[in-house]
Amino acid sequence: MLLGPPGAGKGTQAERLIDDFDLPYYATGNILRAAIDGGTPLGREAHAYVERGELVPDDLISRVVVERLDSPEAEDGFILDGFPRTIAQAEALQDALAKQGRSLTAALLVDAPDEEVVRRLSGRRVCVKHNHVYHVEFDPPKTPGVCDQDGSRLVQREDDKPETIRNRLGVYHEQTEPLIQWYDERGLLRRFDGTRSPEDVHSHIRATLATLALEAET
Ligand SMILES: [Zn+2]
């Protein structure tokens, strides 16, 4: 299971883990959409909320995810991203896995300090013509403020403004700190330094998972 603030590289690590282990990848949004599109009983229930423009309740999301974890494709394991989001969901997940006679291997936290997240995300610029993406520090255009490909102006999106990012981080911390603590208390939390290169973080995660697999065998 993956945890971490926006911009710390959790998504990149998820992609690598999918490649490494060839396991199904479950992000809450994807699972919910698949259930709704598939017209399963739980999917229809979720659809009713979406149609009314309401949030799908936590416990319904838990049931949708648990149903997928119980399916043959997840027999050898799975990668969870964005779920659980609350302690109630973490408990539901733990109970469901216990019923299946298995347990979560680890909660992998790819972490980065707020200021680093702001630096990474607020450096994004897009061109007004074709949305070509640049980064003032990591991928700058040849001429500052001008798109290399079409010469149009580069702007900072509302979502990439430092104050917007800080607000998102505030929400993230409020929601996620209790969950981090919950997994830490159960000995499942493993922390990774998201300020390191993606290669470093990846090899650190792989080594951790290998150790956990060895411990599970003995
Ligand atoms: Zn452009």
Q: What is the pLDDT of residues 135-188, one digit of tens each?
A: 999 999 999 999 999 999 999 999 999 999 999 999 999 999 999 999 999 999
Q: Which residue has the tokens 């929400």?
A: 171
Q: Is 99 a catalytic residue?
A: no
Judged on CB neighbours under 10 Å (0-12, 13-18, 19+), 206 is: middle
Pinpoint the alpha helices (H) of the chain: 10-21, 28-38, 41-51, 58-69, 87-99, 114-122, 162-185, 198-217
Cβ atoms within 10 Å of 120's Cβ, excluding its own: 20
Q: Which residue has the tokens 């964005």?
A: 82
Predicted structure pTM score: 0.88
Report percent pLDDT > 90 for the chain: 90
Q: Is 166 a catalytic residue?
A: no
Residues with CB under 5 A from ligand 1 (ion): 127, 130, 132, 147, 149-150
Predicted local confidence at residue 102, as pLDDT: 93
Compute, in angstroms, the gap from residue 155 CA to the centroid of ligand 1.
11
Predicted local confidence at residue 29, as pLDDT: 86
Q: Is 168 a catalytic residue?
A: yes
Q: Which residue has the tokens 């929601």?
A: 175
Give the tens place of pLDDT for each residue, 98-129.
999 999 999 999 999 999 999 999 999 999 99
Give the tens place of pLDDT for each residue, 53-69.
998 998 999 999 999 99
